[in-house]
A and B are shown apart, each in its own frame.
Chain A
Amino acid sequence: MLLFSINPHSGVPVYRQIMDQVRYHVAAGTLAPGQQLPSIRELAHTLAVNPATIAKAYSELEHDGVIELQRGRGAFIHATPPSMPRDQRRQRLRTLAERMAVEARQTGADDADIRVALDQALISLNRKRPS
C-alpha cells in the first residue's frame, strides 16, 4: 500500500499535504489511472488525522479532476489526469525554481551543479514512470 506521510507542524494544511502527495504519485506514475485510493476511514486511521481532512483532500482532488469519487465504492485515480492551466503552471514552476535556487546556493553549489542535480532528478522520475 502507498505510503503517505504528513508533517502536522509544517504549517502547510494537512489536506494540502495529502493533495500534494497524491499529485506527486500521479506525476511519478506510482499511482496509475483507475487505481483505487485508501478509503477515508482507512487513511484517517493510518495517518491519525481527522477523517474530515481526508474527505476535504479527496473532494478537492476530485474538483481538480485528479481523482474520481464513486459513491459507495471509493476514490480512484482519474483515467485522464488533468494538466494545470498554463498560467498557473508557470507561476508554480517559478516558485519551485526560486526555492530550489536559493536552497541549492546555500549548500555552496554552483549553477552547473544545480542544473545537473535537476536533470538527474528528472531522469530518475522518468525512469519510475511506466511506459
Chain B
Amino acid sequence: MNDAVIEAIDLSKTFRPAVVAVNGLDLRVPRGAVYGLIGRNGAGKSTTLRLLMGLLRPDRGTAHVLGSDIKDAPRETRQRVTYVSQEQQLPWRMTADELMAYFSQLYDQWDTAFATDLVRRFDLDTTRPLGTLSGGDQRRVAVILALAARPDVVILDEPAAGLDPVSRRQLIEAMIDFLGDGGERTVLFSTHILADLERVADHIGFMDRGRMMLSGPLDALQGGMRRVQVIFSGDRVPSGFEIPGELRRRTDGPVLTAIVRLTDPDQVNRLQAIEELRVTEHSLGLEDLFIELMERDPHSMGDLQSSPWWQHA
C-alpha cells in the first residue's frame, strides 16, 4: 500500500453556492503508473488535480502526493512534482528560452538536452515573448517545462484538449520519452478525449459527479469485461434468462446483448455449450467501456469497485 505516490481519501470540495465538485473521492496512483483520469466535463477532474496540488483547500478528506500534503512539503519534495493546468498562465513578456533558463535554476534535475530535444520536435520559436505565441504553443512550452524538470510525478490537466491528432501524437511521444524504461516516473492526467489514451495509460479512473466510479489497471478493466450476444432459436428471449455477471442488457426479439463482468474463465464457455444458443463474445474498447459505464446509475456502481476481477489482476 505504501507504493502509492498519489493518494486521496474521501476528498471533497464544494464551491459556493453549494456546487459539489468533488464528493468523497478516493484515488490511488501507484508508482510508475500512467494514470488517466477520465470523465465528462464537470465530473470534477480539474478540481481533483488542483486539490492534489494544494491550489485549493479541501472541505473534507486528504490529498497526498509523495507521502504528504504538498502545501506542507519541503522544497526537495515539491520540486519532484510538476503540474500543467488547463489554462496555463505563462509570464507573457518572457521568452521560452528565458523561462527555461529560470526553471533550470529552480529544478535540480533539470534536463537541458531533453528540453532542447522537445523544443525541436514541437517546432517552437523560443525567442519570442510567450504572450505572442498561440495557445497551443504556450501549452507546449508548459509541457516542456513540466517534463524537462525530470520530476518523479507529473500532473497534466487535459493536456490533449484542443490539439489536433498530430500534436496529440507528439505529446504522447514526449510523455513516452519522459518515462524512459518505465516503472519509476508517474504521470497523472485528466482527459475527456479517449482517442490515443489507450496507447499510453496503464491505469484508468472513471469519475462522475465528483466520485470515482471505477478504477484499476487498464488491462484488468478490459480483460474483465465483455460484450456478449446470445441469439435464441425462438422468437424471443425467454423471460428470466440472465447471463451470469451481466451488468447491462438490451433485448431485441430473440437477441440478447449484454455487458458482462467476467469472474471465471468458463462463464461464457458454459453458455456456448448450450446447443440451441448462438453465443458471440467481443472485447470492449475503452470508449465502449466508458459509454457503458457512464450510462449507468452511478449509485449502483459500488459493487464493481469492490469486485475481485481487477483487484487481483
Q: Which residues of A contact B (CB under 8 A)?
A: 6, 8-16, 40-41, 44-45, 47-56, 102
Instruction: Pick from A47, A50, A102: contact of B202, CB below 8 A.
Output: A50
Q: B276 contacts the other chain (Cβ, under 8 Å)?
A: no
Minimal beta-carbon separation of A95 from chain B (angstroms): 9
Looking at B81-89, B144-152, B171-179, the stretch in contact with chain A turns out to be: B171-179
- With A41-B181, A48-B169, A49-B176 as known contacts, state yes or no: A12 contacts B200, CB within 8 Å: no
* Contact indicator A9/B198 (Cβ below 8 Å): yes
Instruction: Pick from B169, B176, B287: contact of A9, CB below 8 A.
Output: B287
* Contact indicator A50/B201 (Cβ below 8 Å): yes
* Contact indicator B173/A52 (Cβ below 8 Å): no
* Contact indicator B199/A10 (Cβ below 8 Å): no
Q: B24 contacts the other chain (Cβ, under 8 Å)?
A: no
Q: Identify which of residues 126-185 in chain B touch chain A, using a CB-to-CB cut-off of 8 Å.
A: 169, 172-173, 176-177, 179-183
Q: B285 contacts the other chain (Cβ, under 8 Å)?
A: yes
Looking at B217-225, B244-252, B296-304, the stretch in contact with chain A turns out to be: B217-225
* Contact indicator B172/A9 (Cβ below 8 Å): no
Minimal beta-carbon separation of B35 from chain A (angstroms): 11
Q: List 29 A-B contacts (CB under 8 A).
A: A8-B199, A9-B285, A9-B286, A10-B283, A10-B285, A11-B222, A11-B286, A13-B219, A13-B222, A14-B198, A15-B219, A16-B219, A40-B181, A41-B180, A47-B199, A48-B172, A48-B176, A48-B200, A50-B182, A50-B201, A51-B180, A51-B182, A51-B183, A52-B34, A52-B182, A52-B183, A53-B202, A54-B182, A56-B219
Given contacts A47-B199, A50-B182, 9 further A-B contacts (CB under 8 A): A8-B198, A11-B222, A13-B222, A45-B173, A48-B196, A50-B34, A51-B179, A55-B181, A55-B182
What separation, in Å, do the CA atoms of A41 and B200 have in the docked complex? 13
* Contact indicator A44/B222 (Cβ below 8 Å): no
* Contact indicator A52/B176 (Cβ below 8 Å): no
| Most chain A CB inside 10 Å of its own CB: which residue of B169, B196, B285, B287 | B285
- With A9-B287, A102-B280 as known contacts, state yes or no: A45 contacts B176, CB within 8 Å: yes
* Contact indicator B282/A14 (Cβ below 8 Å): no
Instruction: Pick from B177, B222, B283, B288: contact of A45, CB below 8 A.
Output: B177
Count of B interface residues, CB-CB < 8 Å: 31
- Cβ-closest 7 pairs across A and B: A11-B283, A51-B182, A52-B182, A8-B198, A13-B219, A11-B285, A9-B285
| Most chain B CB inside 10 Å of its own CB: which residue of A12, A50, A52 | A50
Chain A residues whose CB sits within 8 angstroms of the CB of B202 once the complex forms: 50, 52-53
Chain A residues whose CB sits within 8 angstroms of the CB of B286 once the complex forms: 8-9, 11
Q: B66 contacts the other chain (Cβ, under 8 Å)?
A: no
Chain A residues whose CB sits within 8 angstroms of the CB of B32 once the complex forms: 52
Minimal beta-carbon separation of B91 from chain A (angstroms): 32
Q: Identify which of residues 278-298 in chain B touch chain A, using a CB-to-CB cut-off of 8 Å.
A: 280, 282-288
What separation, in Å, do the CA atoms of A106 and B201 have in the docked complex? 36
* Contact indicator A48/B283 (Cβ below 8 Å): no
What separation, in Å, do the CA atoms of A56 and B219 have in the docked complex? 11
* Contact indicator B282/A11 (Cβ below 8 Å): yes
* Contact indicator A50/B179 (Cβ below 8 Å): yes
What separation, in Å, do the CA atoms of A15 and B200 have in the docked complex? 11
Instruction: Pick from A11, A13, A55: contact of B288, CB below 8 A.
Output: A11
What separation, in Å, do the CA atoms of A54 and B183 have in the docked complex? 11
* Contact indicator A51/B176 (Cβ below 8 Å): yes
Q: Which residue on chain B has the smallest CB distance to residue A13?
A: B219
Q: Which residue on chain B has the smallest CB distance to residue A45?
A: B176
Q: Which residue on chain A has the smallest CB distance to residue B269?
A: A91
Minimal beta-carbon separation of A70 from chain B (angstroms): 15
* Contact indicator A50/B200 (Cβ below 8 Å): yes
What separation, in Å, do the CA atoms of A16 and B220 have in the docked complex? 12
